[in-house]
Amino acid sequence: MSDLHQSNRRLWNEWSDEFQAIWRSDTDEDELPPAPSPFAEDAPGGAQPQILDGIEGKAYVELGCGGGQGSVGTAELGADPVVGVDFSGDQLQYARELRDEYGVDAQFVQGDVTDLPLPDDRFDVASSEAAFQMVPAIDRAFAEAHRVLREGGVFVFSVMHPLHEALDPETRTLEESYVDAGPREIEIREEYEELLTVFDRPVAELHNGLVDAGFEVRRLLEHHNHEVEQNEPEESDSPDVMWEIPQSVRFWAVAR
Ligand SMILES: C[S@@+](CC[C@H](N)C(=O)[O-])C[C@H]1O[C@@H](n2cnc3c(N)ncnc32)[C@H](O)[C@@H]1O
């Protein structure tokens, strides 16, 4: 594992308690915390492409699963078996707790998305949400996603939109180049030992990386954040430019 991987992993172990508390911040004691699946009808981005013939009974893996919300939500929809992979042991601990709260079957495995501890051709469906932007060798992560999917398997892949990351909403100017952004270091908390390193890759680079790994990209969604999707602009405190740019980019691709 490279130095950068290791420092990102340590950062995620440090940040995990606080990050997972955010997921649970609106949950009353007698409620289950949210576990949204990328295969739910109300997944971000509006109507989802008709590429997958349902998730029920499909072998599913989530890459960079964090607190397991996507894996647990997808297990609730009937995917079987369900495996979540993350390199942070602390995040995985939360994922296992969430699985037990929901009472679904899901296995959570510690591993790096660039070197998955999983066999070839094992899964019908894979997804990854907000994780690959932290991976320096994204081509290896795409190759691994392809390796563990069977021929014709579906990969739903999403990261923060690079334009959203480059834009300063207050000044409406770009803080970094869209076409040539280098690695960006983010201080999550002053008291944390590590910085988080992310890569704001242009959409074309993500698309071409998937194609080079052997995927046929079937659909691309650029969607707003939930607040923007669910509210009228005048009901929000967000700067109005947030209504004019997507928050995330999501690919639906098929392994060839
Ligand atoms: C922003 S969280 C997203 C988690 C989850 N997908 C979600 O939507 O809440 C990013 C996750 O990616 C994981 N991650 C980052 N780089 C990774 C790598 N190279 N291999 C495995 N997991 C990684 C982190 O540990 C973290 O749990």
Contact 194/235 with Cβ under 8 angstroms? no
> Does 30 reside within a domain?
no
Per-residue model confidence (pLDDT) at position 182: 83
Number of Cβ within 10 Å of residue 237's Cβ equals: 5
Pairing of strands 82-86, 60-63: parallel
Q: What is the pLDDT of residue 77?
A: 96
Ligand 1 pocket test: pick from 72, 113, 127 the residue with the most ligand atoms within 8 Å of its Cβ. 113
Q: What is this structure's pTM?
A: 0.95
In a structure prediction context, what are the per-residue pLDDT tens digits for the chain, which is 256 residues long? 678 889 999 999 999 999 999 999 999 989 999 999 999 988 876 667 889 989 999 999 999 999 999 999 999 999 999 999 999 999 999 999 999 999 999 999 999 999 999 999 999 999 999 999 999 999 999 999 999 999 999 999 999 999 999 999 889 999 999 998 889 999 999 999 999 999 999 999 999 999 999 999 999 999 877 565 565 666 777 788 878 889 999 999 999 9
Q: Which residue has the tokens 């997944």?
A: 43
Is residue 31 domain-resident? Answer: no
Ligand 1 atom at minimum distance from 66 CA: 27
In a domain, 61, yes or no: yes
CA of 233 from ligand 1 middle (Å) equals 31
Question: Residue whose CA is closest, atom 4 of ligand 1?
Answer: 66
Of 2, 13, 14, 65, which is best to mutate to test ligand 1, by the most ligand atoms within 8 angstroms of its C-beta? 65
In a domain, 69, yes or no: yes
Asked if residue 39 belongs to a domain, the reply is: no
* Identity of the amino acid at 122: R
Atom of ligand 1 nearest to the CA of 12: 25
Whether 28 maps to a domain, the answer reads no
User: What residues are in contact with ligand 1 under a 6 Å CB criterion?
Assistant: 5, 8, 12, 64-67, 69-70, 86-88, 91, 112-114, 129-131, 134-135
**210 domain residue, yes or no:** yes
Q: What is the pLDDT of residue 242?
A: 79
| CA–CA distance, 116 with 86 (Å, rounded to integer) | 9
On whether the CB atoms of residues 237 and 219 are closer than 8 A, the answer is: no
- What is the CA(130)–ligand 1 centre distance, in A? 7
111 CA from centroid of ligand 1 (Å): 11
Q: Residue 219's pLDDT is what?
A: 93
- The residues facing 109 across adjacent strands are 85
CATH number for the domain spanning 161: value is 3.40.50.150
| Residue 121 domain boundaries | 3-22+55-255
Please give, one letter per residue, the 3-state secondary structure of the chain: CCHHHHHHHHHHHHHHHHHHHHHCCCCCCCCCCCCCCCCCCCCCCCCCCCCCCCCCCCCEEEECCCCCHHHHHHHHCCCCCEEEEECCHHHHHHHHHHHHHHCCCCEEEECECCECCCCCCCEEEEEEECCHHHCCCHHHHHHHHHHHEEEEEEEEEEEECHHHHHEECCCCEECCCCCCCCEEEECCCCCCCCCEEEECCCHHHHHHHHHHCCEEEEEEEEECCHHHHHCCHHHCCCCHHHHCCCCEEEEEEEEC
Does residue 119 form part of some domain? Answer: yes
Substitution site in 7, 11, 12 for ligand 1 pocket (most atoms within 8 Å of beta carbon): 12
Domain count, the chain: 1
Cα(235) to ligand 1 centroid in Å equals 32
What's residue 72's pLDDT? 98
* Rounded Cα gap, residues 81 and 220, in angstroms: 27
pLDDT at position 232 is 65
